Structure 1
């Protein structure tokens, strides 16, 4: 990584006026009907008229300050035809260098076209596209609520492979949600992904969370989670793991999964949650939350001049963040764990020790 990029990381880490890790749900529209969705009550088949416009999003970015990590979610983010412009706005005004976009992969041609447009118009260190895959074939279609979804995902993958060869800063990952619906078949899914999707950079696993559309899908034991993570870790061996940065983030990943396991066991975390301070959620209509799990809304950007810092400066917002720390809030939300680990220097000895033990 170039020195200028490290400077940008440092600025985002210590001197950003707003949380450096932003998850922005840019649309309330979704063309999937996932049985495991935590956000199902807030999304519909078509985007809401209340969704933020591109002009409003630009105002948010202009006021936001430096961003280290931007994740665009939804709904299905690629339903927004201006997704490439949204990325360009945050790249220009918030200096973001790392963007992640998960997708249900139902729109192969649009995904490929928009990914190429983003890479051509934005100066990014890394654009990560996450293909949501919970099982193989019709089993995946059943979980996602859309017949033919698996075939569309394969098409999307095949459309992105040539772009990976053209753009070195493009990463393509597969992301699986572990639930009661696939916990018995997930090992096979991991094997098939390794064989049939050889050009992916990583296969990620996230634990089902929140108020799922079908509550019974959350019945996964902590031991099953640990078993799957161990198996997946053996498959996700990278050629770069001898280098410091990959080893550092491998250690963060190992700590992250351990904390998910501890939370599933009811033991909580050993670190402080920094949701609201280092991680923030903005919904498609401009509502601001400290994380995806807590239902405590901090405010709406339309009511505060599209300025996140104005909302974060409210006494009520400060109290919510203090309460998260005071009550030792913990959950299985991997993004909140990741942000809490890497944005608190007190955790670095823990991370370095994990690196040493992994040798």
Structure 2
């Protein structure tokens, strides 16, 4: 019954302004790696950090209300010792359908303990282990010794406990960059053999630590994406439930739109950044998305009320600028949100999900 109430509240928010249905929360500005392709590198590991505390996060979650999904990022999310409590707050107050956490997989014991405890949540927990290359190549990209060994060990340990942690999904995330473009197929075959729940491809973006990493062949990333889609498609057909088919249909459609954007460098669909999906940074800064450099405001200046912040004149101005300017990018999360939170696009996804192809 509680789930029905949650979906009713989500439905109301779907048609309301100033109420985000999805959030990306950079939980920390601390990281143990020095990734060559990181777009957040210049903000990491500064002194005198004043990251949001649990009591502040509780008030932010209260003001946010029901979420369809929540993605936690960083920095390295598992550096936060209170990550479990942070997730618990959002699960209890926002009831997201799933919580996604990308990780470099370095802190194996800490990640596994979190996953074991997270079995109590009535929410799917998706941990994505980042693997950008194989062995020493991965370590070089990540700027961290033993990065590959620890990440693979973390994945294997998570697989070991998955049978008794039913809400846990474990996948791999690979970022396509110049350094790995000639090995993407080899990387895919290695990851596929480990039988993750999913394999995802991100496109390098932003002002990277090593700007040369953005000079890669888009054709190689498209081929890798196609391999990932084929693999994920097969996994979904084994599950056969409508929710999984809807998610996979959405993912495939998002990849099509993103590829068109990349190939033609043109607008494809209206973006909902700053309205239905927002980015919350570790010290309370709120942005419409990760790729735009204009801040909506700091939630601490709005009594930790994110809804009030999104009702501000500055928020309205930024939202109008995004829509009127036909803003577009290749960011996976925002392409997805712009599909899910558009009635027109969602109908297309539903049609695909119900097609015989998705039933295998």
Q: Does the TM-score normalized on the shorter chain lie above 0.5?
A: yes
Given the alignment, which residue of 341, 344, 347 partners 2:342? 344
**1:233 equivalenced with 2:229 (yes/no):** yes
Q: Is the 8 A contact 2:119 2:166 kept in 1?
A: no
2:210 match: 214
**1:101 equivalenced with 2:101 (yes/no):** yes
Runs of 4+ residues over 6 Å off in structure 1 = none
TM-score where L is the length of structure 1: 0.92
CA–CA separation in structure 2 for the residues paired with 1:13 and 1:337: 20
1:302 match: 300
DSSP 3-state at the match of 1:223: helix
2:68 match: 68
CA–CA separation in structure 2 for the residues paired with 1:162 and 1:107: 16
CA–CA separation in structure 2 for the residues paired with 1:155 and 1:179: 24
RMSD: 1.9
Q: Is the 8 A contact 2:271 2:334 kept in 1?
A: yes
Q: Is the 8 A contact 1:28 1:48 kept in 2?
A: no
CA–CA separation in structure 2 for the residues paired with 1:174 and 1:82: 24
DSSP 3-state at the match of 2:293: coil
In the TM superposition, what is the alpha-carbon distance from 1:242 to its structure 2 partner? 4.9
CA–CA separation in structure 2 for the residues paired with 1:134 and 1:13: 38
DSSP 3-state at the match of 2:179: coil
CA–CA separation in structure 1 for the residues paired with 2:4 and 2:222: 34
CA–CA separation in structure 1 for the residues paired with 2:104 and 2:265: 33
CA–CA separation in structure 1 for the residues paired with 2:119 and 2:242: 27
DSSP 3-state at the match of 2:175: strand
Q: Is the 8 A contact 1:70 1:98 kept in 2?
A: yes
CA–CA separation in structure 2 for the residues paired with 1:219 and 1:6: 48
DSSP 3-state at the match of 1:63: helix
2:287 match: 289
In the TM superposition, what is the alpha-carbon distance from 1:243 to its structure 2 partner? 4.4
Q: Deviations over 1:190-239 (max 9, x none)?
A: 101112x22x2011111111111111111223322222212222333223
Change (3 A) 1:61 1:260: same
Q: Is the 8 A contact 1:29 1:47 kept in 2?
A: no
In the TM superposition, what is the alpha-carbon distance from 1:48 to its structure 2 partner? 4.8
In the TM superposition, what is the alpha-carbon distance from 1:14 to its structure 2 partner? 3.3
Q: Give unpaired runs (5+ residues) of structure 1.
A: none
In the TM superposition, what is the alpha-carbon distance from 1:159 to its structure 2 partner? 1.7
Q: Is the 8 A contact 2:60 2:305 kept in 1?
A: yes
DSSP 3-state at the match of 2:238: coil
CA–CA separation in structure 2 for the residues paired with 1:166 and 1:48: 40
Q: Deviations over 1:118-138 (max 9, x none)?
A: 223x332x0000000011111
Q: Is the 8 A contact 1:52 1:284 kept in 2?
A: yes
Given the alignment, which residue of 302, 315, 334 partners 2:332? 334
In the TM superposition, what is the alpha-carbon distance from 1:260 to its structure 2 partner? 1.8
1:36 match: 37
1:157 match: 155
CA–CA separation in structure 2 for the residues paired with 1:351 and 1:123: 26
Change (3 A) 1:93 1:232: closer
Change (3 A) 1:274 1:232: same
Change (3 A) 1:357 1:184: farther
Q: 5 Å matches for 1:164-183?
A: 164-183=162-181
DSSP 3-state at the match of 2:344: helix
Given the alignment, which residue of 261, 268, 271 partners 1:270? 268
Q: 5 Å matches for 1:184-263?
A: 184-195=182-193, 197-198=194-195, 200-236=196-232, 237-238=234-235, 239-240=237-238, 242-263=240-261
CA–CA separation in structure 1 for the residues paired with 2:74 and 2:147: 18
CA–CA separation in structure 2 for the residues paired with 1:306 and 1:66: 16
Q: Which shows bigger deviation, 74-83 or 266-275?
A: 266-275
DSSP 3-state at the match of 1:171: strand
Q: Is the 8 A contact 2:21 2:67 kept in 1?
A: yes
**1:81 equivalenced with 2:77 (yes/no):** no
CA–CA separation in structure 2 for the residues paired with 1:57 and 1:190: 37
CA–CA separation in structure 2 for the residues paired with 1:261 and 1:220: 15
Q: How many residues align?
A: 352
TM-score where L is the length of structure 2: 0.92
